[in-house]
């Protein structure tokens, strides 16, 4: 995995992109802000209008797709945890309303139907495909003509994207990485993704670069600052606002490598607000950060091309930019142009991510990739500023109410033994807050452990010990997790309840 830091060229370069109100900053948990969501009705109407224009929908259809997307987000998270290692991924069909959930075990189909989704029996679990993708991430991807790879849950395969004439190089890379032939397919594309730098003046904020100035756009407000693209400045870079006044300092930045994400801490003159500028005179409200599924409608705002909408095509894609490979991006068919980098993506009023890069433009069309916002929040321990009323993660104190958790599991342990849940396996979880609680028979002392799968096996990320009910809260990045119930003393039955973002 390449981790070279991009050298920002000369005086005027940068990813100026979608903008949020200039006084933005915020992110990771979800803290409602006290300011009134300016023109909330108008902003929502404007977003729906953009969906109608770009997706060819009626007003009622656009509204229905947003509602279905929010429902699908909740159902997908629950089924991923319930079906554990049998989960094969989920996506909204082309109609934007039918949720399909892939499973590798026919016995899991009943749980999918009960949740109101359509089951699809597949050969490979999502984790199997993610593991294959990670082999490519860790391989030497220097071969010319390869522009990326991603897990396509709808076809149950890993997809390697190659330019015309580079198919053989794609297959050679897969073989060298140890990916079996039946697990992947190669597709060709003439697109050449690149970070969306801009040399023209527009909105947002400016950073000092080698004695000159570069321009970028704000993504979302977070407590103490705002998030944006990582290629918009290295740690320690100072920023000035749209009014040329001192604004803040880049405190976190990753690009290329594991992400394209950055965090700017602002000074006391700047106030974080839960809105996005749509460049049509409206402020779109940001009410939460529930992650939309593949197939969902999505919109972004940018200082060059305004508000544009389309569909989520794939998640966790590795994109090979000229500066190096970036993993974990989301692919869309939304157009973007230079100057749109760093800006916000919304599904309804739910924050999704910040613009990274892409290919094409808004005249001929193209594809654009964004960095998921929940990954930034989890990685840098940030809290998203919201207008309230959004889908918030379960509060920590709710973890003690086991019956309120989305997934329920039970088991029996002898003293000094342990069990993994769900059902001896693991589950995929989006970035964000996970909560769990454990109750056990009287006279026992059972502890709860949450582990995340790494390239060195499962590693403990959170534990819950002590007397009575054991409650656990963890805010982490997306990945494969499992709970382990440990009988420190005594023997008997237990009940585990847990919820995922």
Catalytic residues: 231, 260, 341
- Could you identify the residue written with the tokens 């999505």? 298
Encode burial over 334-371: b for 16+ CB neighbours within 10 A, e otherwise.
bbbbbbbbbbbbbbbbbbbbbbbbbbbebeeebbbbbb
Residue 197: closest CA among 27, 342, 13, 324: 13
CB atoms within 10 A of CB 248: 23
**Angle CA(260)–CA(266)–CA(267) in degrees, nearest 5?**
165
CA distance 272 to 255: 25
Contact 466, 423 (CB under 8 A): no
CA distance 258 to 238: 23
CA distances from 29 to 158, 211, 288, 420, 437 (A): 32, 37, 9, 27, 19
Encode burial over 9-21: b for 16+ CB neighbours within 10 A, e otherwise.
eeebbbbbbbbbb
Q: List the structure tokens of 195.
A: 């970070």
CA distances from 239 to 197, 254, 260, 267, 372 (A): 17, 17, 18, 10, 23
Residue 375: closest CA among 329, 333, 331: 329
Cβ burial of 2 (10 Å; 0-12, 13-18, 19+) is: middle
Q: List the structure tokens of 273.
A: 């607000």
What is the separation of C-alpha 102 from the centre of its chain, rounded to a whole number of angstroms?
20
Count of H helices and E strands in the chain? 6, 33
DSSP 146-164: EEEEEEETTTTEEEEEE-T
Cα dihedral sign, 248-252-255-258: negative
Cβ burial of 56 (10 Å; 0-12, 13-18, 19+) is: exposed
């Amino acid at each position: 995995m390449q981790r070279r830091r991009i050298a920002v060229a000369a005086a005027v370069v940068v990813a100026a992109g979608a903008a949020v109100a200039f006084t933005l900053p915020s992110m990771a948990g979800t803290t409602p802000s006290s300011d009134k969501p300016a023109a909330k009705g108008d902003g929502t109407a404007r977003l729906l209008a953009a969906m109608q224009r770009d997706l060819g929908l009626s007003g009622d259809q656009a509204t229905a797709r947003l509602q279905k997307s929010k429902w699908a987000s909740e159902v997908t998270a629950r089924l991923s945890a319930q079906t554990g290692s049998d989960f094969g991924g989920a996506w909204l069909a082309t109609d934007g309303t039918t949720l399909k959930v892939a499973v590798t075990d026919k016995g899991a189909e009943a749980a999918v139907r009960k949740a109101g989704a359509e089951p699809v029996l597949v050969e490979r679990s999502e984790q199997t495909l993610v593991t294959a993708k990670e082999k490519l991430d860790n391989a030497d991807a220097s071969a010319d003509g390869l522009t990326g790879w991603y897990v396509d849950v709808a076809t149950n395969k890993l997809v390697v994207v190659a330019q015309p004439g580079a198919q053989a190089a794609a297959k050679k890379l897969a073989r060298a990485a140890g990916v079996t032939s039946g697990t992947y397919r190669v597709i060709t594309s003439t697109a050449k993704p690149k970070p969306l730098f801009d040399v023209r003046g527009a909105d947002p904020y400016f950073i000092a670069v080698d004695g000159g100035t570069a321009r970028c756009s704000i993504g979302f407000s977070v407590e103490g600052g705002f998030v944006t693209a990582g290629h918009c400045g290295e740690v320690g870079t100072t920023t000035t606002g749209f009014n040329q006044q001192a604004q803040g300092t880049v405190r976190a930045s990753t690009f290329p490598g594991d992400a394209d994400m950055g965090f700017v801490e602002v000074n006391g003159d700047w106030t974080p607000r839960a809105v996005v500028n749509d460049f049509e005179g409206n402020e779109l409200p940001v009410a939460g950060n529930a992650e939309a599924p593949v197939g969902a409608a999505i919109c972004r705002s940018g200082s060059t091309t305004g508000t544009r909408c389309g569909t989520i095509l794939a998640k966790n894609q590795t994109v090979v930019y000229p500066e190096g490979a970036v993993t974990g991006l989301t692919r869309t068919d939304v157009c973007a142009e230079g100057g749109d980098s760093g800006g916000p993506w919304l599904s309804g009023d739910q924050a999704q991510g910040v613009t990274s890069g892409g290919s094409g433009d808004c005249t001929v069309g193209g594809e654009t990739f964004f960095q998921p916002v929940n990954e930034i929040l989890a990685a840098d321990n940030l809290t998203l500023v919201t207008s309230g009323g959004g889908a918030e993660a379960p509060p920590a104190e709710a973890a003690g109410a086991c019956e309120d958790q989305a997934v329920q599991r039970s088991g029996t342990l002898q003293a000094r033994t342990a069990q993994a849940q769900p059902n001896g396996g693991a589950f995929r979880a989006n970035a964000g807050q996970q909560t769990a609680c454990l109750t056990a028979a009287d006279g026992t002392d059972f502890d709860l452990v949450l582990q995340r799968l790494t390239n060195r096996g499962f590693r403990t990320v959170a534990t819950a010990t002590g007397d009575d009910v054991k409650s656990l809260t963890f805010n982490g990045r997306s990945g494969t997790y499992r709970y382990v119930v440990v009988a420190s003393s005594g023997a008997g039955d237990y009940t585990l309840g847990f919820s995922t973002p």
